[in-house]
Amino acid sequence: MSKTLTDQQAVILTGLAEGLNMTAVAERIGKPYETIKDDYKRIQNILGARSQAAVVAKAIRDGLVA
């Protein structure tokens, strides 16, 4: 599966890696929570991870976030 993220998904992933929750990420980028939640589900599918911790860990391992 390709690990290509949209720009918005990359911003969401970076926020999560910084320790923000999805509500805080939504506020940071000025998008509705539901939009962030939908993108997060897509990120989970792209990375093949279930929990937020696993998503962040896999993204860091794969070099998707610093």
Percent of the chain residues past pLDDT 70, beyond the cut:
97
Number of domains in the chain: 1
15 assigned to some structural domain: yes
1 assigned to some structural domain: no
Residue 33 and residue 47: Cα distance in Å, rounded?
21
| Domain at 28, CATH number | 1.10.10.10
Q: What pTM value is reported for the model?
A: 0.88
2 assigned to some structural domain: no
Angle (deg, nearest 10), helices 33-47 and 22-29: 120
66 assigned to some structural domain: no
Residue 56 and residue 47: Cα distance in Å, rounded?
9
User: How much is the pLDDT for 1?
Assistant: 42
Q: Which domain covers residue 53, as residue numbers?
A: 7-61
